[in-house]
Amino acid sequence: MPMTLEQLAQRIGAQVQGDPSVTVNRCAGLEDAGPDDVSFLANRKYVKRVADSQAGAVIVSADDAKLIENHNLLVAADPYFAFREAVVALHGYRQHPKPIPDGQHQAPRFIDPTATVGPDCTLYPMVYIAAGAKIGARCVIYPNCFIGPNAVVGDDCQLFPNVTVYDGCVLGNRVTLHAGCVIGQDGFGYATHEGQHDKIPQVGNAVLEDDIELGACCVVDRATVGSTRIGKGSKFSDLVAIGHGASIGRHNLLVAQVGVAGSSQTGDYVVMGGQVGVAGHLKIGDGARIAAKAGVTSNLAGGEEYGGQPAMPWKQARRSWLSIGKLPEMTQELRALQKRVTELEAQLASETQVRP
């Protein structure tokens, strides 16, 4: 819905610097925004782009506002969060379409008589809810989702197409699973005996606490015994895999293609960049930040930044990467030194032989 800058500033906790009567309709990036749009600046290195932007207003910090002239600004303590609030105010959240009423040329859904479904749920065609499953209130479950026997889904959950929740697994309240997620498949557990890999029955489950969102095609294995657990408020990008018996702390951020092996644990507020791999039975402390493609092979202390293969403190990793860029020159120098040493050794041997 359209808003004046004055109205929007009140909604997002900002101060108007410029014309408060300007009306904006939507949010956009600096380069794409027009006179009816609001944009944001969260990184000072892009401040020069504001001058070329056609945005009706730009959300900025108080420090960055001092560098910008002749633009309507919304000055906020945290510009990125304020932009988030502006998106909510102007665009709102995704509205789920209502399914076609039963009997009007749609495929059926199946709800076992022993399952329970809370009030105000939206269940699309081809949803299968197995025996003993419990679905909370106001959930939205899209086509081709499977909720296994005795699984629990809390209130206000959203399960997009082709999500599978295996038997006995638990989703808390306000959990969002994007298309193709699998919760509680068997963990990778085998006992190798006399040259044969014998399957260990995976008798545990997987538990996702409240306010979790997983991107498309994420997988959380069930535990061999006990529970694989994802902590409250954690967010995953696409294609994240969590091994059996692992424990992910609260409010973790895991970017695409992260893999955490079985029985590893992370603390709270841990961040992992894309394609980070964590070996099994490790511990990562609260607030650790791990750069993309890092390979974690040992325990990591909290509150630090890491990178590299194997993962090491960030400053050390950067020095290693800079050294890799110099390897061709270093190799040439080493070969020249080896040749020189060989020549000196030959010269020394020759001089020794001619001495009386």
Name the amino acid, one letter, at 195. Answer: G
What is the arithmetic mean of pLDDT over 104-112? 75
Cβ pair 290, 272 in contact under 8 A: yes
Residues that are catalytic: 244
Strand duo 312-313 + 305-307: pairing: antiparallel
Q: Which residues of 244-276 are buried (b: 16+ CB within 10 A; e: fewer)?
A: bbbbbbbbbbbbbbbbbbbbbbbbbbbbbbbeb
Quote the percentage of the chain above a pLDDT of 90: 81
* 92-101, 185-194, 302-311: the lowest-pLDDT one: 92-101
216-232 tens-digit pLDDT: 999 999 999 999 999 99
DSSP H/E element including 325: helix 314-325
Distance CA(27)–CA(40), nearest Å, equals: 9
Share of the chain above pLDDT 70, in %: 97
Is the pTM higher than 0.95? no
Tokens, residue 116 = 């329970």
pLDDT digits (tens, 9 = 90+) for 168-220: 999 999 999 999 999 999 999 999 999 999 999 999 999 999 999 999 999 99
Please state whether the peptide bond connecting residue 310 to the residue before it is cis, i.e. omega within 30 degrees of 0.
Answer: yes
Give CA–CA dist 289/299, Å, rounded. Answer: 13
Identify which of 311, 321, 257, 316 has the alpha carbon closest to the alpha carbon of residue 288.
311
- What are the tens digits of pLDDT across the range 156-174? 999 999 999 999 999 999 9
The burial class, CB within 10 Å (0-12 / 13-18 / 19+), for 345 is exposed
pLDDT attached to residue 95:
83
Residue linked to tokens 């809390």: 154
110-316 has the same fold as 3-91? no
Architecture of domain 3-91: 3-Layer(aba) Sandwich (3.40)
Identify the three-state secondary structure at position 350.
Answer: helix
- For 22, 60, 72, 132, 303, the CA distances from 16, given in Å and listed in that order, are 10, 10, 7, 55, 36
Give me the pLDDT at residue 106, please.
Answer: 60
Beta bridge pairs of residue 177: 159, 214
Residue 38: closest CA among 64, 68, 69, 16: 16
Contact between 121 and 141 (Cβ < 8 Å):
yes
Q: Provide the pLDDT for residue 71.
A: 92
Locate the domains of the chain by residue range: 3-91, 110-316
8 A C-beta contact, residue 278 and residue 262? no
Q: What is the mean predicted confidence (pLDDT) over 87-109?
A: 76
Q: Domain 110-316 is of which CATH architecture?
A: 3 Solenoid (2.160)
94 pLDDT band (50/70/90 cuts)? confident
Pairing type for strands 259-260 and 289-290 reads: unpaired
- Mean pLDDT value across the chain: 93
- The pLDDT of 125-131, averaged and rounded, is 95
Distance separating alpha carbons of residues 111 and 102, to the nearest angstrom: 14
